Amino acid sequence: MHPVPCFVLVLLAVGASEFCCAGPLHAQCKVEWYFGIPCRVVYESLVSQINKWRTMAGCTMGGQKCLYKLQSASVHFIAAKHTTPFQRYVDDINFRLVSYHFFTSCHVSAMSISETWYAIKDHGTNYCNIYNLIEGSGLTEARGYNEVTSDFLCTQRSSANCTVY
């Protein structure tokens, strides 16, 4: 039997501690949102917000409310990319929209994942990538607004400051 190389053990140890206590190993975020308004309204709000924050304009005073790029959009699924303004890290984001209560309500499953595989700590960037769109488009004020997530589902969610990240 071959001895296990030392770096493998180190990787395993780092991986295990990240997975156990600090949330996902790869920087990412998954959030469930519930709204008491139709998915079509949620869809239109999100797409128009992504398009509003296409350029650098929203980030001249800092923050991350810029450089979103719509990849594809249908009323059931929106895909986009977000690039951080200075380091140019790219995160993939998507929203899956499912109607319920006879189309009066909308359940949104959102994901953001860093393309950089070694991004383990993200200061909540992946959470803010998707939360900022919900907040910016006014959906946090929508009837029946409810959010379900955790530090386990979202890297560094509880310490995220979405004004900065």
Q: Who contacts 108 (Cβ-Cβ below 8 Å, separation ≥6)?
A: 32, 33, 34, 35, 42, 95, 96, 97, 98
- Cα-flanking dihedrals φ and ψ of residue 9, to 5°? -60, -40
Q: Is residue 161 a contact residue for ligand NAG (CB under 6 A)?
A: yes
Residue nearest ligand NAG (C-beta atom): 161
With H, G, I as helix, E, B as strand and everything else as coil, classify residue 96.
strand
Task: Read off the tokens for 53.
Answer: 């924050």
Residue closer to ligand NAG by CB (options 41, 164) is: 164
Asked if 150 is part of the footprint of ligand NAG (rule: CB under 6 A), the reply reads: no
Q: Give the range of 27-35, 72-80, 115-123, 156-164 binding ligand NAG by CB under 6 A.
A: 156-164
Q: Work out which of 13, 14, 56, 164 binds ligand NAG, going by CB under 6 A.
A: 164
List alpha helices for 18-106, DSSP H.
Answer: 39-52
**Residue number with CB closer to ligand NAG (43 or 165):** 165
The residues that touch ligand NAG, with contacts defined as CB under 6 A, are: 161, 163-164
